[in-house]
Amino acid sequence: MKYDTIIVGAGPAGIFTALELKKRGYEGSILIIEEGAAIEQRKCPKAKTGHCVACDPCHITTGFSGAGAFSDGKLSLNYEVGGDLPDLLGAEYVQSLIDYADEIYLSFGADHRVEGVSNPEEIKEIRKRAIMAGLKLVDCPIRHLGTEKAQELYYAIEQDLLARGVEMRFKTECTDLVIKNGVCTGVKVRKKDVEEIIEGGRVIVGVGRRGADWLARVCIVHGIAHTAGTVDIGVRVEVRNEIMETINDVLYESKLIGYPNPFKDKVRTFCQNPGGFVAQENYENDLALVNGHSYKEKKSDNTNLAILVSQNFTEPFHQPITYAKKVGELTNMLGAGSILVQRFGDILDGKRTWQKELSRSNVRPTLPDAVAGDITAAMPYRAMTGIINFIKSLDEVVPGFASKETLLYSPELKFYSNKVKMDTDLTTSVQNLHCLGDSSGWTRGLMMASVMGIHMARVLTK
Ligand SMILES: Cc1cc2nc3c(=O)[nH]c(=O)nc-3n(C[C@H](O)[C@H](O)[C@H](O)COP(=O)(O)OP(=O)(O)OC[C@H]3O[C@@H](n4cnc5c(N)ncnc54)[C@H](O)[C@@H]3O)c2cc1C
C-alpha cells in the first residue's frame, strides 16, 4: 500500500496539514495514522468511575485531535505565545497564519468572543503592577473553545476530512520510520499485534508531547539532526476565583514571565483556567502528570494555572526529557502513584500537608484524587526556589496569590521534545521527512501546532 502523504499523529498539527492540503486542491492520497481512537470514541472513564483507571493509551492525550480534544481549547492569538515557530518562519508570517487558522476554527463553530482585549485601561494597570514586581506581561487575545465545545468542533473537522477522502487508521501505532540512504520512504506500524510497513511519498510526523520521547529515540537511531530541547518543570497552582477575579475578568489568561533570583531561569504562568478543574493525565509507564482545564458551562469556585520553570541543559547532558520524567516518577512515588498536593504556607514552613488540613481551607482541591504530601521532597531545589520566588512576585500583581492556603500540585511537566533541525520548508536532514507540532520542539499549543500544519500544507502545494 502506498500513499502520497502519510501523517503520523492526528493532533492539531497533523489534521490542519490534511485540512489545508484539501482546501488547496491537493490531489494526492493522504493517510493519517493515529495511536488513539476516533473522536466520537474517545471517552475518559473517570467521568463515570470518579477516578483515573489508567487507560492505555490515555483517552485524554490520544485520538483524533490529539491532546486538543479534551483540552481547554484556549487558542492563543498572538505569535509571542505557543512556541518558537516565529524564530523559524518570521513573526509577521506566523501572525498571518494565526489569523488564517482562527478563521478556520470559526468556520467550524468556535465562539466569536475573544478574551483579553476589552479593558485596555485595566490591562495597563495590571502591567504597571507587573513591572513593579519585576515581571513581564504579554498581551495575548484568547479564543476559548471550552473542553466540551472543542470536542464538537474537532468532530466536525474529522467528518470534513473523511468526506474529502482523507483516510484515517485509528488505534494504529507508528513504531518506526523507514529510512533508506537518507530518504524516508514510509512507516512501520502496529495494530494490536499485526505489524506492517506502509510506503509513503512523504512522511509528516506530528506525535505531540506523548510521542516526544519516541521521536527523540527515532532521531538518534536514524541520525535525524536535532538539538536537545527545553523542558519545563513546575506546579499547577489553585486558588479561589475571588483572588484571581480581576485578572480573570480583564485578561482571562495572564501571561506573566519572570527571571527570579538566584538562578534567573525563565519562570512563567501558563494555561490559566478560571472556574476550572485540575486534571490528571497519564503517560507511558504510568507516569501521572497534573494539568488543568475549564468547561464553557460547568464552573468550579477555583482558578488553576501552571507555573513553569524552563530548564536548559548544556554539555555533556542530552536527556532533558528523561530528567523531567525522573522528577515526575519521584513525585509519583511519594504520592503512591497519585498527584501530590501541598499548601504554599506548608512549603514555606518546611512541613508536609496532611489530608485533613486541606478541608480547613477556603480553597478545596478540584482534583479529589490528589494526595496531600510534600512536593519539595521530589522537586529539584533550583526549580522549587524559582517557583517560590515567582509566586511571591506574583502576589504583588495578584494580592493573595501567595497566601498560605494556595495549593500547589505536582508534577506538572512539559516535554517540548528535542528540537528537530529543519529549514523553512520544514524538511529535516532526512529527505521527504517533515516534523510538526509539539513533538518537533517548535510549538507548544493548539494554535501554533495548527499553524505549523497549515504552513506544511502550503509548502507541499506551492
Ligand atoms: C489537558 C490539556 C489541556 C491543554 N490545554 C491547552 C489549551 O487550552 N490551549 C493550548 O493552546 N494548548 C493546550 N494544551 C496543549 C495542546 O493540546 C497541544 O499543544 C497540542 O495539542 C499539540 O498539538 P500536536 O498536533 O503537536 O500534538 P498532539 O495534540 O499531542 O497530537 C499528537 C497525536 O499523535 C498521536 N501519537 C503519538 N505517538 C504516536 C505514534 N507513535 N503513532 C501514532 N500516533 C501517535 C497521539 O495519540 C496524538 O493524538 C493542552 C494539553 C492538555 C493535555
Nearby residues of 347 by Cβ (< 8 Å), 6 or more positions away: 375, 376, 384, 388, 408
To test ligand 1's pocket by mutation, which of 61, 98, 203 has the most ligand atoms within 8 angstroms of CB?
61
Q: From ligand 1's centre to the CA of 121, what distance in Å?
A: 35
Measured in Å, residue 359 CA sits from the centre of ligand 1 at 34
Q: How many CB atoms lie within 10 A of CB 401?
A: 20
Q: How far apart are CA 438 and CA 418, in angstroms?
A: 10
Query: What is the rounded distance in angstroms from the CA atom of residue 418 to the CA atom of residue 439?
Result: 8
Percent of the chain residues topping a pLDDT of 90: 77
Write down all domains in the chain, each with its CATH number in brackets: 2-110+145-227+418-461 (3.50.50.60), 120-140+230-415 (no CATH)
The DSSP secondary-structure symbol of 84 reads S
- φ, ψ dihedrals at 351, nearest 5°: -130, 155
Give the residue, out of 168, 171, 438, 442, with the most ligand 1 atoms within 8 A of its beta carbon, to mutate for a pocket test: 438
| pTM of structure | 0.81
Q: What is the pairing mode between strands 302-311 and 267-273?
A: antiparallel
Average pLDDT, the chain: 93
Q: Give the Cα separation of 28 and 380 in Å (integer).
A: 50
Which pLDDT tens digit goes with each residue over 218-266? Answer: 999 999 999 877 789 999 999 999 999 999 998 888 899 999 999 999 9
Q: Distance, CA 111 to ligand 1 centroid (Å)?
A: 21
Residue 267: predicted pLDDT: 97
pLDDT tens sequence across 313-354: 877 887 888 899 999 999 999 999 999 999 999 999 999 999
Greater pLDDT, 1 or 256 = 256
